Amino acid sequence: MSGRDLELRPEERRAQDAVRGLKRPLARAEFRARLKRDFVSGAIAHSKRTVTLRPRPRVLWMAMAPAAAAALLATGFVLNRGPDWTLASANATGIAVVDGRPILLTDREALEHALKRGGTVRLSPGASLELVASRHLAIEILGGTEATVPSVAGRWFGRQIQATVRSGEIRMTTGRAFKGARLAVSTPEASVEVVGTTLAVICESAGTCVCVMEGRVMMGPHDSAMAPIESGRRRFVFNDGRPPEEAEMRAVEKVALGVMRSRHASHME
């Protein structure tokens, strides 16, 4: 008898005695037989209960979040991407070397495919081609030119693009969708910044000349302050260290750029 038994009140002791007087329940005969059979056969040892846990909403969202973010990011890049370049014209003879691959100018499909996202182009003398990205930009590359054509600026981000002119001449005119974008053009002597205009960048033996038909362009020697070139003017940066020269734009470029702008007016609106 424990100390607790001595502390029971009379009614508690009577309840305790009643419970102790109850008969122990016996398992039914069929249950005992099935239990014995399962034990002998080993079924009890191999019995398993499968429990399926349903993830809580918060846990499920945390697991799915990285994949959802990646899909959203990929969609954003696709929607932001600017249009491909299309080949507006190419003269019937000559070769364009695009990223080291020679392509006949008569093979328009191969040429357009190679340049749809830009690339480094080297044209044989006497050749020429024009690339257009509707409402963004049109570029004319003249024979004997080596230049890098940029991809088209993105719609919301990636609005700063770069091009190079190592030799020869390119002419450009911008469209409505180019507004807010910036094109940085690098030559051996100078840096040029385009924000919306019609211009020519000409690399000659003495240096780089930029002629502006409309709009405004910034230009200067590398690692020096840029100066504006207004509509109808030109600026020449020499490669021998002389100060830049400013004057009225070249007459031949005024005519050529005017024709180019008129030719692509419907594509740029």
Query: 71-111, pLDDT tens digit by residue?
Result: 555 555 567 778 999 999 998 789 999 999 999 999 999 99
Share of the chain above pLDDT 90, in %: 64
For residue 48, what pLDDT is reported?
A: 55
DSSP for 145-194, written as a single string: -EEEEPPPPPSSS--EEEEEEEEEEEEEEE-GGGTT-EEEEE-SSEEEEE
The pTM (predicted TM-score) of the whole model is 0.72
For residue 37, what pLDDT is reported?
A: 77
For residue 82, what pLDDT is reported?
A: 83
Residues 6 or more apart in contact with residue 209 via CB below 8 angstroms:
200, 201, 202, 234, 235, 236, 250
The yes-or-no verdict on residue 139 having pLDDT over 60 is yes
Query: 193-238, pLDDT tens digit by residue?
Result: 999 999 999 999 999 999 999 999 999 999 899 999 999 999 999 9
Are 221 and 237 contacting, i.e. CB atoms less than 8 angstroms apart? yes
Query: 163-192, pLDDT tens digit by residue?
Result: 999 999 999 999 999 999 999 999 999 999
For residue 87, what pLDDT is reported?
A: 97
Are 85 and 153 contacting, i.e. CB atoms less than 8 angstroms apart? no
Highest mean pLDDT among 12-26, 32-46, 225-239: 225-239
For residues 139-149, give the mean pLDDT: 97
CA distance 168 to 216: 22
The yes-or-no verdict on residue 27 having pLDDT over 90 is no
**CATH 2.60.120.1440 is held by the domain 82-268:** yes
For residues 248-259, give the mean pLDDT: 97
Would strands 128-133 and 95-98 be described as parallel, antiparallel, or unpaired?
Answer: unpaired
Are 96 and 147 contacting, i.e. CB atoms less than 8 angstroms apart? no
What residue segments make up the domains of the chain, in order of their start? 34-77, 82-268
